[in-house]
Amino acid sequence: KMKAAEKLMKVFVTRRIPQEGMKLLSAAAECEVSMWDSDEPVPRAELLKGVQKANGLLCLLSDKIDAEVLDAAGPNLKIISTMSVGFDHLALQEIKKRGIRVGYTPDVLTDATAELTVALLLATARRLPEGVEEVKNGGWSSWKPLWLCGYGLSGSTVGVIGLGRIGLAIAKRLMPFGVQRLLYSGRSAKSEAAEVNGEYVPVDTLLSESDFIVVSCSLTPETQGLCNKAFFSKMKNTAVFINTSRGAVVNQEDLYDALSTGQIAAAGLDVTTPEPLPTDHPLLTLKNCVVLPHIGSATYSTRSVMSALSVRNLLCGLQGTEMPNELTL
Ligand code: NDP
Ligand code: DGY
């Protein structure tokens, strides 16, 4: 009979995660779990220490998993499970080279993220944060014909950059507002675009014809800095720009210029570089820029399901069995 100690798998968890995931993890008798027991990110030095000799790593999108971390972990590391659908924080080539498997959390956060994107779009286009502020600071003097006017979706053209799981879910939610045309761009046309009458167009067409532009692509070397000066200069002066993908898709200096010169009407960002965005950042001085603290998937139920899925991915990775959601490397 094998001694208990012999079959123990060492797991490092980089943060406190929701209860549902923790329960599954504690019930896994084969695991010896150590966790960065905090709601704040694990300091780099603690991460490098924590992963030593680990067989499994459960991480978040704020943990940069690069060659240094993989080397610190050593050859026992079999599985990296991230509690996110985005995987731009993982050095995939290094991970693949070492034969490590990766689990992630697609689909389960699609609805929550699409819903937040619609909320951000409406809040930005209809200037809700400005309005709330005016009520509080006495700026509300009377009903005035042009005061706090914005832009509506009815009859508009919406352009989605990256019609993936979340992009399509956003499009489906926007169509009932009376959107006239739904354009999208990306690497290839999608058959599921038919569900929203989506027209696959070159990005330049999308930029010049859209009243609302929503970025929902993944962050890759190709999309990094995609939304730059040239990009904003092709947009309508009345257009609203929304990004809920990753901050690095946007050149923030160029966005600041586009917003402050009136090149574009407004922007709503759920993601920035860096995160958190420093409180003295120029973008935060602009009334036509609405910035949220990366809360796309932040509903209790979604985060709970994400935590459970990331633990199931981790456990299957440790056992060498099929994962609910394995990333193809
Ligand atoms: P998907 O992989 O389903 O969608 C990503 C889309 O990006 C695909 O349609 C892909 O198109 C497209 N894409 C890739 N390269 C380009 C490019 N060069 N130009 C235009 N489009 C491109 O992922 P999800 O929809 O599930 O998630 C998308 C992203 O959203 C995540 O990677 C993450 O960064 C972000 N996210 C943010 C959240 C938040 O809290 N704000 C919450 C959840 C996710 P193709 O198939 O043709 O390659
Ligand atoms: C992700 O999962 O990639 C989001 O950014 C947070 O849920």
Q: 85 CA distance to ligand 2 centroid (A)?
A: 5
Per-residue pLDDT at 284 = 98
Per-residue pLDDT at 266 = 99
In the residue annotation, 294 being an active-site residue is answered as yes
Please give the mean pLDDT across all residues of the chain. 97
Cα(67)–Cα(292) distance, integer angstroms? 31
Cα(146)–Cα(113) distance, integer angstroms? 32
Instruction: Answer whether residue 4 shows pLDDT above 80.
Output: no
Q: 160 CA distance to ligand 1 centroid (A)?
A: 11
Strands ordered across the beta sheet of 181-185 = 198-200, 181-185, 157-161, 212-215, 240-243, 266-269, 289-291
**What interface predicted TM-score (ipTM) does this complex get?**
0.99
Cα(159)–Cα(185) distance, integer angstroms? 8
Instruction: Answer whether residue 2 shows pLDDT above 70.
Output: no
User: Across the strands, what pairs with 227?
Assistant: 250
Per-residue pLDDT at 216 = 98
Distance (Å) of CA 210 to CA 4, 120, 213, 226, 243? 62, 17, 6, 17, 15
CB of 65 closer than 8 Å to CB of 73: no
Cα(214)–Cα(28) distance, integer angstroms? 41
Instruction: Answer whether residue 295 shows pLDDT above 50.
Output: yes
Amino acid at 186: G
Cα(156)–Cα(123) distance, integer angstroms? 16
For ligand 2, atom 2, the nearest C-alpha belongs to 84
Model pTM above 0.95? yes
Instruction: Answer whether residue 267 shows pLDDT above 50.
Output: yes
- Please state the rounded mean pLDDT for residues 61-69: 98
For ligand 1, atom 27, the nearest C-alpha belongs to 166
User: Across the strands, what pairs with 157?
Assistant: 181
pLDDT tens-digit readout, 236-247: 999 999 999 999
Strands ordered across the beta sheet of 79-82 = 31-35, 9-13, 56-59, 79-82, 101-103
CA atoms within 13 A on the CB side of 168: 13
Per-residue pLDDT at 3 = 54
Structure tokens at 133: 């502020």
Structure tokens at 275: 């995160």
Per-residue pLDDT at 1 = 47
Helices (H), 159-294: 165-174, 203-209, 229-233, 252-260
User: Across the strands, what pairs with 195?
Assistant: none
* Shortest-distance ligand to the CA of residue 83: 2
Per-residue pLDDT at 285 = 98
- Please state the rounded mean pLDDT for residues 28-45: 96
Block residue for tokens 């009334």: 287
Query: What lines the ligand 1 site, CB under 6 Å?
Result: 85-86, 106, 109, 113, 161-167, 185-188, 216-220, 222-223, 244-246, 270-271, 294, 296-297
Q: Which of 3-12, 49-58, 83-92, 204-213 has the lowest mean pLDDT?
A: 3-12
Instruction: Answer whether residue 5 shows pLDDT above 90.
Output: no
Nearest Cα to 56, choosing from 74, 29, 41? 74
pLDDT tens-digit readout, 77-107: 999 999 999 999 999 999 999 999 999 999 9
Amino acid at 231: F
For ligand 2, atom 4, the nearest C-alpha belongs to 84
Per-residue pLDDT at 6 = 57
101, 294, 303, 312: the active-site residue: 294
CB of 325 closer than 8 Å to CB of 104: yes
- Please state the rounded mean pLDDT for residues 169-186: 98
